Amino acid sequence: GQEGNADGKKVEETVNRLLPRVSSSNIYTIANPEQTQVIKRRFTNLPEENLLIEPQGKNTAPSLILATAKIYLQNPQSVVAALPADHLIRDSALFLKKLEAGAAAAAEGEHLVTFGIPPDYPATGYGYINFSLKPPSEILGENFYPVEKFKEKPDYEQAKEFLRAGNYFWNSGMFIWRAEVFARKLELYAPVMFSYWNKVLEALKYNNEAQIQKIFDVIPSISIDYALMENAKGVLMCEGNFGWSDVGAWSALANIWDKDESGNALRGENIIIDSENCLLYNPNKITALVGVKDLIVVDTEDALLICHKDQDQKVKDIVENIKKKGKSEYL
């Protein structure tokens, strides 16, 4: 399954990454009605009943309950991989190898499985997974570490400590579980969400779209991390060293774009003097950077963003503010 607010292109990349190993009949997408129309046009090979519509954006727990319940009704023992579609993965072959191992780990026992990304700087924009340093279990040649705790986004000092400790990886937001195990874990660790699981299951059984709409009107808007992963026991983590970037963050683009000799990632006409490690996107006019470092500058026709690289995850807060001010045309 895929979820996330990605555009059609990102969904396409995610689906194409899976197709060598996963048949199109086993790929599900979940998105809002507009995104689903885009997906439908791009993917004529995906069965229409696999394109699930999220009646309204309520964060990841409700959308994953809806998608997993749909698959559960076909076979409770199905292994479900939840993969946000706004991620960039550079080594697809290694990703598929790890995904297969993760699926094997989820297929037996009562485990929820996740991928942790080895951190390369003290990021404050991601949650972290604190994992045990006890000897890991090996499944299909991959190591799986017991998760001690999911940690919320840290401040800069905490993030530096996490890096020093060595057993804190970034939370990728990718999860694998058997559908029936997901239901049991909800029952044990997220009873409120489990009651909604039962309601969603009932509505899906009778193909009652109006009822699903009603459930989404009242279901809490909560991430799967808060709802389940932070409390659940029996979570295993596999190292996601397959060149992951969360394209929800501008700084992730800096990892992908070519850089000049001072580490600046540039798109558009520019003059750069004594500046380093900046990301500049300015397709419409010439932009000069003088004596600055670690800045993100994004200049489009109707809006200008300037922020520090460490703070780019807060761009989501700006989006919320713009919406509140009724200026959505600038998004």
Give the three-class secondary structure for 160.
Answer: helix
Domain count, the chain: 2
Question: Which of 90-99, 244-253, 304-313 reaches the highest mean pLDDT?
Answer: 90-99
Q: Where are the beta strands (DSSP E) in 9-153?
A: 29-31, 51-53, 79-84, 87-89, 112-117, 128-131, 137-139, 142-151
R_g (Cα) of the chain, nearest Å: 21
Residues 41 and 176 in one domain: yes
Residues 236 and 297 in one domain: no
In the chain, pLDDT over 70 holds for what percent of residues?
89
The half-sphere exposure of 246 on its side-chain side, counting CA atoms within 13 A, is: 20
What mean pLDDT value characterizes the chain? 89
CB-based contacts of 176, cutoff 8 Å, min separation 6: 79, 80, 81, 82, 99, 102, 103, 105, 106, 112, 113, 114
Average pLDDT over residues 204-222: 96
CB-based contacts of 215, cutoff 8 Å, min separation 6: 196, 199, 200, 203
Residues 108 and 234 in one domain: yes
Are the CB atoms for 115 and 238 separated by under 8 Å? yes
Longest dimension (CA), the chain: 65
Name 81's bridge partners.
176
Domain range enclosing 324: 250-330
pLDDT given at position 11: 81
In angstroms, the CA 88 to CA 96 distance is: 14
Residues 190 and 237 in one domain: yes
Grade residue 1 by pLDDT with cuts at 50, 70 and 90.
low
In angstroms, the CA 228 to CA 326 distance is: 33
The half-sphere exposure of 245 on its side-chain side, counting CA atoms within 13 A, is: 15
Residues 55 and 175 in one domain: yes
In angstroms, the CA 312 to CA 323 distance is: 18
Residues 30 and 100 in one domain: yes
**End position of a domain, from candidates 223, 246, 269:** 246
Residues 64 and 129 in one domain: yes
The residue assigned the tokens 């995610």 is 14
Residues 71 and 203 in one domain: yes
pLDDT in tens, 113-136: 999 999 988 888 889 999 999 999
Strands 128-131 and 279-290: unpaired
pLDDT in tens, 141-155: 999 999 999 998 899
The residue assigned the tokens 């750069």 is 272
Name 134's bridge partners.
none
DSSP state of 225: I
In angstroms, the CA 283 to CA 164 distance is: 39
Residues 157 and 230 in one domain: yes
Q: Looking at the predicted structure, is the pLDDT value of residue 249 above 70?
A: no
Residues 145 and 230 in one domain: yes
Record the pTM: 0.77
pLDDT given at position 6: 47
In angstroms, the CA 32 to CA 244 distance is: 25
pLDDT in tens, 198-207: 999 999 999 9
Name 289's bridge partners.
272
Residues 281 and 235 in one domain: no
In the chain, pLDDT over 90 holds for what percent of residues?
62
pLDDT in tens, 56-72: 989 999 999 999 999 99
Q: Looking at the predicted structure, is the pLDDT value of residue 177 above 70?
A: yes
The residue assigned the tokens 């713009």 is 322
Residues 14 and 120 in one domain: yes
Least reliable range by pLDDT among 16-20, 79-83, 132-136, 148-152:
16-20
